[in-house]
A and B are shown apart, each in its own frame.
Chain A
Amino acid sequence: MNTMFDCAVVGGGIMGAASAMRMAKGGMKVVLFEAQQLGMGASGVNAGTLSLQIKRVALMPYALKGHELWAQAGDAVGFKECGGVTLAFTQNEAQILEERMTARMKAGAPIEMISGARAREIEPHLTDRIVAASFCAADGYANSSLTGMYYRQLLKDAGVEVHELCSVDEITPSPDQVLLRTGIGVIAAKRALLATGAWTKRLGEQVGTSLPIRVRINTVSVTERMPKIAKKVIGHATGLLTLKQSTNGTVLIGGGWQGTGTPEQGRGKVVPETLTSNLRLAQYAIPELAGARIVRCWTGFEANSPDFMPIAGRMPGWENLFVLCCVRGGYTIGPYMGQLMGDYILGREPELPLFDPIRFQENQHDQKH
């Protein structure tokens, strides 16, 4: 049974799954490996925010497309387009808010600046200490923990061979094929895609390519169910708060406050000091949260590149190895990024440009083997 796959995808998060689906639909024979089960890394533990108000300006066209894809997924991922309010509590923050939202508006996000009073009309439980605010009707959220279930069905329908709980221990590329030593034996594929999030740096090193990936350890907390206190996604001018109340009444609080740990250790750990700051910011925005009970706090690993732009393209040094990670706002943008990556591997021109990792290599001209 020495099947030669057209492409082997390593990593069963949003990026890997969406890429695999695209390639399979494009006629490729695709196999996907996931060390855990699908969507249990950053794709499944992020706060689920789909907010255009916190997306990078340069990625706005991608975010708008990603947003559309989540809207189409609908109930299967708990998609809600509820609108979002972003708050500034000081003059300095108001200035940051104005500058950043103006840039995002120009990039195509349907954002408007509103007064603090208007923000409180929209969201009556907000504090009265708002200096300035912005509003985006297209903002919303989805339930990230459903990511795995959602993609499991789609991958099955697309005919991708999926191996969960199956790690890839070694990748050996050569000019005509890529060999992968996996939990089910050695697999051969014409090409391979690494979509392993915060774990990509180690895999890259294993094939001799040093990718400048840094890992952020983002904290998320959830309260027990409580009476309705927020209808919209609530954010902060600095991006250091995201808050939304799910349909079941639980309130999810995030904002990228840092925990500790490394991807190699398996999971990160919440740090009491940053957790306290995160919860203080949430309580400052919605004072009634003081009476909420916190049920669970956790962390997820987010991969970042030095310029905070995605790493998406051919792996420097290899014709038949591809890499996709470090997409800021990856939960929102991921499904679309996967489509672009899939198209690229299929040999088609992607609808929007990818982000070639060659930009981080020192001797860019003599890299190709």
Chain B
Amino acid sequence: MTELFDLTILGAGPAGAEAAIEASNWGLRVAVLDEASAAGGQVYRAPQFEPRTGPVDPHHAEGNALRERLERSGATFLRSHRVWDISMSGQRETPQYTVSTMGPSGLTEIQSRALLVATGVTERFYARPGWTLPGVIGLGAATAMLKSAQVLPGRNVVVAGVGPLLSLVAHLIIQGGGKVAAVVDVSPLSEWLGHVPAMMSRPDLLARGAKWQLELAAHRVPVYRGYDISRIIGTTEVAAVELGKLKKDGTVVDRFQIEADAVCMSYGLTPATEVFRLLGADQVFNEECGGWVPVLDDCQRTTVPALYAAGDGAGLLGAAAAPLTGALASLAVAFDLERISPADFARSKTGLDAKLRRAAKFGRAMAKMARPRPALMAAIPDSTVVCRCEDITAGELKQTIQAGAKNINALKFATRCGMGPCGGRVCGEAAAAMLECHGIKRSEIQQFTARPPLRPILLADVTRDFEYSDIPLPEPAPA
């Protein structure tokens, strides 16, 4: 008989892992899944081997502590599990979730009475000529590479885009023995300074950021603020980067080139909303939270019964707030499954709310940096590939929008943009920005319809061993 968990948690990052620990403390039977081979998520990503020269990742110790606590919690941790489908059955008041996964021992289904989505964010890519060259990766991808495999993205790397990841990636490259050719930050200094009051809520993080700036200066790394990459140059690999001053309309002027063999570049983060879309949870577009976010009550409940959301995937708030929203979600699950009294619930909630208010202050400022900036797609050349799975250019998308495609799914139907293996995760924000540049609101642009599999799955993994007689052929329709 299949085991029925109280709670399945998707994602073992700071929100999911903390939620698993908390829920286990409340006596819930918990399964927590992650695609990675260790818990930690993106921020606390575990190294694949112990660093030879001591840890360079500033989050190393915290990550290890989180993994140890999860290990001790009694929650069932299913590492290296990819979720490809989720379905809900049973009564509305007492639903049952079935999560279909591919794990190291093949396909499995996990059943539970509640589901918590803590799947974090995806990077926002805005296409630039040359961005599909080998050697161009996202800032988030770069942190994964540097923290986990401890491999440098290149020998001479341009780090570009927006937000606090710029400093982190540059720091990790320098500490790993690499050279940063330049940091190209879309935000002018004034934008950063505007956030200083909010950042004062976390003097430790502010000080760390300042230290990393000094490190850049010590290594004579040029930092261009209010600049953007206009082009990445190279034939089979990155050879140079063209950049210049960014104007409000998205054009880049006073351009010049610098040599580089790799580029780490992305333009903010946006909640990964596939599961909410798949299960039909109401969502709202809120650029202050990074884009589309699930509609939540004050305890992380979505509009779908027994479906909860926590961490940055529920709205960007940063790594400090993530464990708190995770804990809050677990508290709500424990209460909804009648494992704790209303009094215990209220007491714990008050405590968490207070902590969350403090943590959110810093997180909100960083989330603002990560917001969509559609103007950055306004001036790209027509020949630039936007959907790299299907080779769809900006010109084709523009033409289709002008011919009458008014939302992202109509654009997808007409051009194949977003139909490839990435499921629209790479091109979706850029395509939406292009629609927005044509005067359409994000609420009307909507999101790509989510379809299973949530990640590509091998056909043989679905069909497994079978005989022809195993296929139940229904009565055919009349001829």
Which residues in A have some Cβ–Cβ distance to B below 8 Å? Answer: 36-37, 39-40, 44, 56-57, 89-90, 96, 99-100, 103-104, 129, 145-149, 152-153, 164-165, 222-224, 238-240, 248, 256, 267, 269-270, 272, 275-277, 279-284, 289-298, 308, 328
- A sample of 30 cross-chain residue pairs with beta-carbon separation below 8 angstroms, ordered by A number, consists of A37-B405, A37-B406, A37-B409, A37-B413, A39-B413, A56-B478, A90-B468, A103-B479, A104-B479, A145-B413, A145-B414, A148-B413, A152-B404, A224-B421, A238-B476, A240-B476, A248-B416, A269-B87, A277-B471, A279-B463, A280-B470, A284-B468, A290-B458, A290-B460, A291-B458, A291-B459, A293-B457, A296-B452, A296-B453, A308-B478
Considering the complex, which residues of chain B in the window 390-418 have a beta carbon less than 8 Å from any beta carbon of chain A?
A: 390, 400, 403-407, 409-410, 412-414, 416
Query: A37–B410 contact, CB under 8 A?
Result: yes
> Complex: how many Å from CA A292 to CA B457?
8
> Complex: how many Å from CA A290 to CA B462?
9
Query: A294–B414 contact, CB under 8 A?
Result: no
Query: A328–B462 contact, CB under 8 A?
Result: no
Q: Which of B87, B416, B451, B456 has the most CB of A within 10 A?
A: B451
B476 neighbours in A (Cβ, 8 Å): 96, 238-240
Does B477 lie at the interface of the complex (its beta carbon under 8 Å from any beta carbon of A)?
yes
B410 neighbours in A (Cβ, 8 Å): 36-37, 40, 148
A239 neighbours in B (Cβ, 8 Å): 476-477
Q: Which of B87, B413, B416 has the most CB of A within 10 A?
A: B413
Given contacts A39-B413, A56-B479, contact A284 B460 (CB under 8 A): no
Report the nearest A residue to B390, measured CB to CB: A248
Given contacts A240-B473, A280-B470, A280-B471, contact A294 B479 (CB under 8 A): no
Q: Apart from A149-B413, A294-B456, what are 20 other A-B pairs with CB-CB below 8 Å?
A: A37-B404, A37-B407, A40-B413, A44-B413, A99-B479, A100-B479, A145-B412, A146-B413, A148-B414, A149-B414, A153-B403, A224-B420, A238-B473, A277-B473, A284-B471, A292-B459, A294-B453, A294-B458, A296-B453, A297-B452
> Complex: how many Å from CA A230 to CA B477?
26
B406 neighbours in A (Cβ, 8 Å): 37, 164-165
Does B85 lie at the interface of the complex (its beta carbon under 8 Å from any beta carbon of A)?
yes
Does B221 lie at the interface of the complex (its beta carbon under 8 Å from any beta carbon of A)?
no
Main secondary structure of the interface of B (DSSP, over half): loop
> Complex: how many Å from CA A275 to CA B423?
19
Q: Taking the nearest CB of chain A, how far is it from the CB of B410, in angstroms?
A: 4
Given contacts A145-B416, A280-B466, contact A267 B421 (CB under 8 A): no
Q: Which of A57, A146, A284, A294 has the most CB of B within 10 A?
A: A294
Does B340 lie at the interface of the complex (its beta carbon under 8 Å from any beta carbon of A)?
no
Q: Which of B416, B444, B473 has the most CB of A within 10 A?
A: B473
Given contacts A57-B479, A146-B414, contact A298 B451 (CB under 8 A): yes
Does B350 lie at the interface of the complex (its beta carbon under 8 Å from any beta carbon of A)?
no
Query: A149–B400 contact, CB under 8 A?
Result: yes
Q: Taking the nearest CB of chain B, how far is it from the CB of A128, in angstroms?
A: 13
> Complex: how many Å from CA A294 to CA B472?
21
Given contacts A96-B476, A149-B413, A272-B85, contact A296 B423 (CB under 8 A): yes
Q: Taking the nearest CB of chain B, how far is it from the CB of A162, in angstroms?
A: 9
Query: A296–B477 contact, CB under 8 A?
Result: no
How many chain B residues have a CB neighbour from A under 8 Å? 43
Q: CB-defined interface of B431-452 with A at 8 Å, one 1/0 digit per residue?
A: 0000000000000100001011
Query: B409–A270 contact, CB under 8 A?
Result: no
Query: B471–A281 contact, CB under 8 A?
Result: yes
Q: Taking the nearest CB of chain B, how far is it from the CB of A149, in angstroms?
A: 4
Does B90 lie at the interface of the complex (its beta carbon under 8 Å from any beta carbon of A)?
no
Which of A90, A152, A294 makes the CB contact (< 8 A) with B459?
Answer: A294
Report the nearest B residue to A90, measured CB to CB: B468
A292 neighbours in B (Cβ, 8 Å): 458-459
Q: Taking the nearest CB of chain B, how far is it from the CB of A280, in angstroms?
A: 5
Q: Taking the nearest CB of chain A, how far is it from the CB of B342, in angstroms?
A: 34
Does B419 lie at the interface of the complex (its beta carbon under 8 Å from any beta carbon of A)?
yes
A147 neighbours in B (Cβ, 8 Å): 413
Q: CB-defined interface of B100-137 with A at 8 Å, one 1/0 digit per residue?
A: 10000000000000000000000000000000000000
Report the nearest B residue to A307, measured CB to CB: B478
Given contacts A240-B474, A290-B463, contact A295 B421 (CB under 8 A): yes
Q: Taking the nearest CB of chain A, how far is it from the CB of B95, in angstroms?
A: 14
Query: B459–A289 contact, CB under 8 A?
Result: yes
> Complex: how many Å from CA A256 to CA B421?
24
Query: A283–B478 contact, CB under 8 A?
Result: no
Q: Taking the nearest CB of chain A, how far is it from the CB of B422, in angstroms?
A: 9
Report the nearest A residue to B404, measured CB to CB: A152
B85 neighbours in A (Cβ, 8 Å): 270, 272
A248 neighbours in B (Cβ, 8 Å): 390, 416
> Complex: how many Å from CA A283 to CA B423?
23
Given contacts A40-B410, A103-B479, A297-B452, contact A275 B462 (CB under 8 A): yes
Which 7 pairs, one residue from A and one from B, show the smallest C-beta to C-beta distance? Answer: A290-B460, A238-B476, A37-B410, A145-B413, A149-B414, A293-B456, A100-B479
Query: A152–B472 contact, CB under 8 A?
Result: no
Which of A149, A240, A280 makes the CB contact (< 8 A) with B463?
Answer: A280
B472 neighbours in A (Cβ, 8 Å): 277
B414 neighbours in A (Cβ, 8 Å): 145-146, 148-149
B470 neighbours in A (Cβ, 8 Å): 280
Q: Taking the nearest CB of chain B, how far is it from the CB of A92, in angstroms?
A: 10
Report the nearest B residue to A236, measured CB to CB: B473
